[in-house]
Copies of this chain bind each other. A is one copy, B any other.
């Protein structure tokens, strides 16, 4: 059970932006160098972040990306959502014909998985980008 790299990189990259942007755009090249993430992969990730209005882009020389919301307001759940990274611990949904046919005990565990999803999602909902940076400041 793990998060995929796209989600992790997205969070890392946005955290990087929060640290390094001084009101100007941050280029993917810089993020790539600092965070050790492939530039091509970052492009793919930022495409989604842009489409979902997490960042906006500035083209041309000295271009890059800018956070739409402040790190204080940007929820981690927003980021994961932008990458279609739903926290869905099971494939078996109540309304799915395929895996849950309502037979006897078959779906005893349904409620449990639902609870789990809620538990995890509420964590992501409760955390803002700025929360990730706090530890860092302590180290400086």
Chain A residues at the B interface, C-beta cutoff of 8 Å: 1-5, 7-8, 11-12, 15-16, 19-20, 34-36, 76, 85-92, 101, 103-106, 108-109, 111-113, 116, 119-120, 123, 127, 131-133, 135-136
Contacts and interface: CB of A to CB of B under 8 A. Distances in A.
B105 A131 contact: no
Given A85-B1, A90-B2, A105 B34 contact: yes
Nearest to A86: B1
B103 A131 contact: no
Contacts of A119: 119-120, 123
A89 B123 CA distance: 13
A132 B108 CA distance: 7
Given A103-B34, A120-B120, A108 B19 contact: yes
B112 A131 contact: yes
